[in-house]
Structure 1
């Protein structure tokens, strides 16, 4: 996957441990019967963090989300740790909240913090009872193994049908201080966020108030995770959390301005890259799809049109078949719930080997099918839409729809 370069920001290793003061770990505690696969992860800050979260809009919400929201409300937006398990979503269980609270208490007791300073999350199968015993048996070992190199183990612990670990981190300066912001994500299917199963944890050593962290997160989610669609299903357990411990030593960001913009840009870089990682690793995916809708009158229209194309099953199938069936793109643009003149719309298909225009002013144009086939044979495909009705643009991300997607989801519980 190609990473976009941004002036003033350098990609670094470290994931959620790239920022000062953060350690992490992951291991197998027995929730996943395959002992080689980690199923329990932790992220911990040596100092208190200002924290914020964004959660699924599905009416059915995982118990960990309900508990995390309660914790952040009780603590006034403060947190020091994340505890997360995979293989079991702890959703639609009568005792789900009780289990999530017990897990939080277990971690809090071991590391010596308040339970409300714990962000708790789960991912996996919905509707299966979750026992607290694996957490009781392995919490001490999990905490004892926390290190600054533990980010990879933590990232492994949140994977379900994911095929690759998803981590990004950047280094930049604010107020003359070197700052870091990094994250880890999971998600491969049931992804059509509205803030699937995606879990996303971001850490930073930037000094910034809880209110400004929440504002930045809420804004960036709209143009990153909420512009992602693998299969159109919005999960019950979606969560994005950010913890900022201030150890970079910059003057605390308490209002909008240049420093806030630098922090927000770093958050965008990390979250947009993780969004693309989630898209490229969609269940059964063979291609990353990025749709850019430009020439829009406003950001809302641009997002609606780009997402309409990305989530179209027929278009996704065409991309799997490497078929330049541009009519499916126009169809998806046409049913997008936004106001624009379809007669002004142009569309091009692009990859690293070239670009071909397939539609202009709402109608097809002559193009080489052979050239189009070469373009669509690549792993990353870009769909460029020009509405011709403004100067605003937005991107959306997804993947092709393959035979393997059905196979994976046909036997997911097994």
Structure 2
């Protein structure tokens, strides 16, 4: 059976890799930056088969022999490490950075763990851009976020070891670890030139999928989706119903730093705000398109809406953003999203590792390509460099004065935009 994953930056998987990984799934799919289908185990290859294959592949065996015979650091020579490096390099040579990739057995296990209720790590999602490991987004209230890791951070070293030329799978192995242990990331924040060392204590991280809170002094409900894992659509519906019961007349949907998740859940989330039409289109290599429609029964189709996005908004979150923008349902406020959107096929290898290869891509309802381009906001708003996002959990106990004094310029702009909107739905 095939499991479709929609982009988890990749979405994660962007796909990307969570620390632990994150992704997006469709009817069995993941949205971590790409949609994923699991196809059966691929047959293994032997050295003889390699030598009988294309002439260029004989170079692999020749290079291995030279390394075995001449490399000075004998302890570094290990067949599995060399094999994983070769496979990873082969996939990376396709140029599908952040999407098609190789997963070691450990990464496969981490990905499975990330889809459960909690996991251990720093709580950030990684991908590669221009050959460099980059943070897609830290999770809300995660060790990474609390320590100062930001979306767009370029990682140059882990515990003092240079990782700039390292395969993403190796970077993740260096960053991951059990709760209570620490790791130091040397990063370059987006828009800066200097390297900043950030030490993070790993922890058990519960996945906060949906959180909501009335914004003090307003009738606006702030709803945040941290990830698109199982039951997010149901959780969002419940949060919206409770918000309406509490007097919510307008909604701000916060998709900032949301790396993706299940494709089915992305459709259900968008459908809470739309009455009809499409959520997205899926296009194959021949250009054939398959429309995916809105599910009936949305509970917030008649409330004014603003949507917060940033460079950490990826995969499933981009599907939702694109659908709401194309249907004119609400203004997108913030920064251009990450730009993920391929459908990946997962091919399992003999030792528990796997290849994720892009086979299809998804488009917005109007046919806009998101892959490598992202979704542009209707209103571009920069967040101050040292500002923290105001989340529903931070809103609890916050006064209107404290909110206005916060540096979350994107949220404040969304409030301003909604203040000028009528109470009827803007269609």
TM (norm. structure 1) is 0.25
More helix by share: 1
